[in-house]
Structure 1
Amino acid sequence: MKMKEVCAQTGLTERAVRFYVQEKLVVPLAQRRGGRTWLDFSPNHVDRLKAISTLRKAGFTLEEIRAMIEDFQKNASGAAFSLRQRLQAAIDAYDKLRFTDTAQANGMEDYAALLEREVEGRPIPESDRVHTGMDSSKLEAFCMVWAVYFMFRFYVFLLEHFSDYSVLLYAASWNPLVFLLLFAVIPLPIALVLGSKAGKWICRHLEYIP
């Protein structure tokens, strides 16, 4: 079963399915053809993806779901207990905060001051405290910078080996910016396009499949 069929049957986006595959919560058959990795899902994989989607909506973490996949009888009760604790904490927080009205504050800082006593001792979310690595935009920018650098080096190499030195020296004596101008007009746009495409290609492959 191909990706589009899986998305239609599970209601998940392609990105979500790829993420669960990357996390190894579901392991479909993978085949490499034409420089791309194609995934083939079975009906059992579809059932598991539906189950993962339901458990995530219920509030289970990826690690709790992974533990249930590994040994349901051993780990399911602990995962359910942890979820109930989190839900109870959310209910307690709601009971404390429901009487705090935004109309009592003149701005975000004032509203935060009203909530400060109620949230004292609670940690900020884990996602705010853990750096997950270079994001896609930074990675693409990195690829573009390197593409421009290598294109410039190649441009200089061509000038040095395939140009008339006397003409180059004359042009440099007249205006050294001529070289940079020529680079900006021809090689630089090419480098930016190549770098952008390379960055997007790498970003897609970081999600396990193109």
Structure 2
Amino acid sequence: MKMKEVCAATGLTERAVRFYVQEQLVNPQSQRRGGRTWLDFSEPDVERLRAIGILRKAGFTIDEIRSMGQDFPNNAPGAAFALRRRLQEAIDASERLRRIDTAQADGLESYASLLEAEVKDQPLPDYDGPCTRHIDIDAWHDRVEWLLMLGAVWLFWRLYNGAVDLLSDRFTLLSIAFWNPLVYFLLFVILPLPIAIVLGSGAGKWLCRHFEYVPCEEKSLPNRQALLMFAQS
């Protein structure tokens, strides 16, 4: 099964699927063709991806899901206990916040002072730190595309200058016309510049599609739905 079919069947994005493959939560067959890796998913792979999506929504981490996939009978109880503990900590934090009215504070510092006694024994979240693999992938794609567009414009400018010199040497009328700076730059703007921008943009999009970068796992507090499920259990 191809990527688009997998995304439609699981409700996952291609970015998420590639991340789970990179993390070896699922291991589809792969082939390298045309500088790109093509993935072929089996029905069990799709079922595993669907299960991973559900477990992620429930609040399990990538490491916990990996451990359960490797040895479910032995590792699932510990993973479930760790999730329940995180959910309970989030509920406790919610209760502490409920006891402090923001109307009692007139700014961030005073609000922190009101909360200080409630959280003095609490550690900082272990995900409060730099993620060495994290990058805004959309911004990265934009930068690559702009860089290649600028490179294409520079290349076409050099080619345009070479063509102008060649034509000026052979045709006197063109030589006279090209002495006018307005004509010189206008012809470049009308003809080579749009082609350079289109080709540079296309090259940038192609490169980004074939560069198999996947950002690191986003870590966050358990979601509201998971908290409600835990509170009702």
TM above 0.5, yes or no, is yes
Give the corresponding residue for 1:144.
149
In 2, the alpha carbon distance for the partners of 1:80 and 1:102 equals 34
In 2, the alpha carbon distance for the partners of 1:62 and 1:113 equals 37
Counterpart amino acid of 1:193?
V
Are 1:200 and 2:217 an aligned pair? no
2:124 to 118, 122, 125: 122
In 2, the alpha carbon distance for the partners of 1:191 and 1:201 equals 15
CA contact (8 A) 1:97 1:115 kept: no
In 2, the alpha carbon distance for the partners of 1:157 and 1:63 equals 58
Deviations 1:36-62 (A, max 9, x none): 654321121012102211221121222
Give the corresponding residue for 2:39.
39
Residues 206 and 35 of structure 1: is their aligned pair in 2 closer, same or farther, counting only changes over 3 Å? closer
Are 1:87 and 2:87 an aligned pair? yes
Give the corresponding residue for 2:48.
48
Q: Secondary structure, in 3 states, of the residue corresponding to 2:94?
A: helix
* TM-aligned CA deviation for residue 34 of structure 1: 6.9
Counterpart amino acid of 2:191?
I
Consecutive unaligned residues of structure 2, counting only runs of 5 or more, are: 214-233
Give the corresponding residue for 2:169.
164
What count of residue pairs does the alignment treat as equivalent? Answer: 203
Are 1:30 and 2:30 an aligned pair? yes
Deviations 1:44-88 (A, max 9, x none): 101210221122112122233334444556654554444334323
CA contact (8 A) 1:6 1:46 kept: yes
Counterpart amino acid of 1:189?
P
| TM-score, normalised by the number of residues in structure 2 | 0.66
In 2, the alpha carbon distance for the partners of 1:26 and 1:97 equals 40
In 1, the alpha carbon distance for the partners of 2:8 and 2:38 equals 17
In 1, the alpha carbon distance for the partners of 2:166 and 2:62 equals 57
Residues 9 and 167 of structure 1: is their aligned pair in 2 closer, same or farther, counting only changes over 3 Å? same
Counterpart amino acid of 1:129?
P
Q: How does 1:34-113 map to 2 (within 5 A)?
A: 37-72=37-72, 75-100=75-100, 110=107, 113=110
* TM-aligned CA deviation for residue 146 of structure 1: 1.7
Moved more, 146-155 or 78-87: 78-87
Residues 197 and 24 of structure 1: is their aligned pair in 2 closer, same or farther, counting only changes over 3 Å? farther
In 1, the alpha carbon distance for the partners of 2:70 and 2:160 equals 55
Counterpart amino acid of 1:185?
I
